[in-house]
């Protein structure tokens, strides 16, 4: 009998983040497994085979924002809780729509990344005494305790060890990175191809392109730091392109970029299906955050051979391995130094006796460790372990 899995993601179809990208790819890949019967429940978009869009109040909607302010005020006054907001409202309404499907189809496993969804389902599991198992993919990461669930997927060794240090039993968690759609072979664009694609994307062709992908904010992704570091470089400076979902902090980030970089700066938000073209034409990639659950964009960019510049700590050391450029991005000037170093070093230069380029090594590193071809059997193994 096949293992019946519900993969749930309230933001899929509503916003574009790492959670949503992973949910999309994970469903497509696990659907190939003959031992699994998987259904994707998402917050928006059209219905398709084994894909169900559930009614919810999206976090970006007017009513979601207003309700978020209301529950935030109530939660702050009554319980001292500050995590009640429009995102909480989206997860609560999404879970409410999911319950009839759980009652009707009785899944073996519910797999999720949104913590409030997990808390709601944990309460429902206990109230109704149902036997489904809750597996939390800890992409935040959350505290070692995690939401109410039966099992936690830790994405990096540092998070797994932190949970062990806090007394979380090893048998209730699995160290398993995110899977990625990575081609076995790296195809780099020739200079004419790169120029043509940049023209099609309406990007400059006469200077290097520095790319950073993530929520346009200062509190987590630290896009203000990226802008300031690029602005400190001598003229002619590279072009800085920030790509991602905009937030309440984005207006200040855009204003800062326009003031310091002028026409050498831009912010864009594009569909997930379009992001690959920007990796293809960039010259280097920057992730300035000082904490991540995994750092999905590092793998995505390295899969296209891009040199990746990131803050030096346990998670980025695990993800980029020996093939990245790590420094203390809490210090002024460190990113600027890294950009200067990387742009002066041609990626096409062969770096070992086997005539392998730096771009080839980056691609091979992430393909061997994070491609779905490598990890898909390990996901099935995790599900079987939990059951």
pLDDT score, position 72? 67
pLDDT score, position 23? 93
Render pLDDT for 86-142 as a digit per residue (tens, 0 to 9).
888 999 999 999 999 999 999 999 999 998 999 999 999 999 999 999 999 998 766
pLDDT score, position 78? 45
**Residue 6: Cβ-neighbour burial (10 angstroms; 0-12, 13-18, 19+):** buried
Render pLDDT for 274-312 as a digit per residue (tens, 0 to 9).
999 999 999 999 999 999 989 999 999 999 999 999 999
Q: Position of tokens 């978009």?
A: 45
Q: Please check whether residue 288 is in contact with residue 312, taking contact to mean a CB–CB distance below 8 angstroms.
A: no
pLDDT score, position 75? 56
Q: Please check whether residue 360 is in contact with residue 186, taking contact to mean a CB–CB distance below 8 angstroms.
A: yes
- The SS3 call for residue 95 is helix
pLDDT score, position 263? 95
Low-confidence ranges of the chain (pLDDT < 50): 77-82, 350, 353
């Amino acid at each position: 009998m096949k293992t019946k899995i519900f993969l749930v993601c309230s933001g899929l179809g509503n916003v574009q983040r790492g959670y949503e990208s992973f949910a999309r790819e994970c469903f497509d890949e696990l659907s190939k497994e003959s031992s699994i019967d998987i259904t994707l429940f998402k917050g928006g978009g059209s219905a398709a085979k084994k894909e169900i869009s559930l009614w919810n109040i999206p976090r970006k909607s007017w009513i979601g924002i207003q309700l978020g302010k209301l529950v935030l005020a109530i939660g702050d006054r009554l319980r001292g809780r500050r995590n009640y907001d429009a995102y909480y409202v989206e997860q609560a309404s999404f879970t409410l729509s999911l319950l009839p499907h759980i009652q009707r189809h009785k899944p073996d496993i519910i797999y999720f990344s949104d913590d409030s969804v997990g808390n709601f389902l944990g309460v429902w599991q206990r109230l109704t005494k149902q036997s489904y198992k809750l597996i939390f993919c800890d992409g935040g990461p959350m505290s070692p305790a995690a939401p109410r669930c039966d099992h936690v997927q830790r994405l990096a060794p540092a998070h797994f060890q932190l949970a062990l240090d806090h007394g979380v039993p090893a048998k209730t968690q699995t160290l398993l990175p995110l899977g990625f759609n990575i081609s076995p072979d790296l195809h780099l664009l020739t200079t004419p191809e790169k120029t043509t694609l940049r023209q099609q994307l309406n990007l400059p062709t006469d200077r290097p392109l520095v790319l950073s992908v993530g929520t346009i904010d200062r509190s987590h992704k630290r896009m203000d730091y990226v802008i300031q570091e690029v602005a400190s470089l001598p003229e002619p400076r590279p072009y800085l392109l920030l790509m991602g979902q905009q937030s309440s902090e984005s207006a200040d980030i855009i204003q800062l970029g326009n003031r310091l970089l002028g026409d050498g700066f831009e912010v864009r938000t594009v569909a997930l299906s379009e992001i690959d073209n920007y990796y293809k034409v960039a010259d280097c990639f920057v992730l300035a955050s000082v904490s991540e659950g995994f750092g999905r964009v590092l793998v995505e960019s390295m899969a296209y051979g891009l040199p990746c510049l990131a803050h030096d700590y346990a998670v980025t050391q695990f993800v980029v391995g020996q093939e990245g450029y790590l420094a203390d991005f809490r210090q002024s000037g460190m990113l600027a130094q890294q950009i200067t170093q990387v742009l002066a070093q041609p990626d096409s230069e062969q770096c070992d006796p086997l005539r392998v380029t730096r771009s080839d090594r980056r691609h091979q590193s992430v393909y061997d460790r994070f491609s779905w071809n490598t990890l898909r059997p390990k996901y099935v193994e995790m599900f079987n372990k939990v059951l």
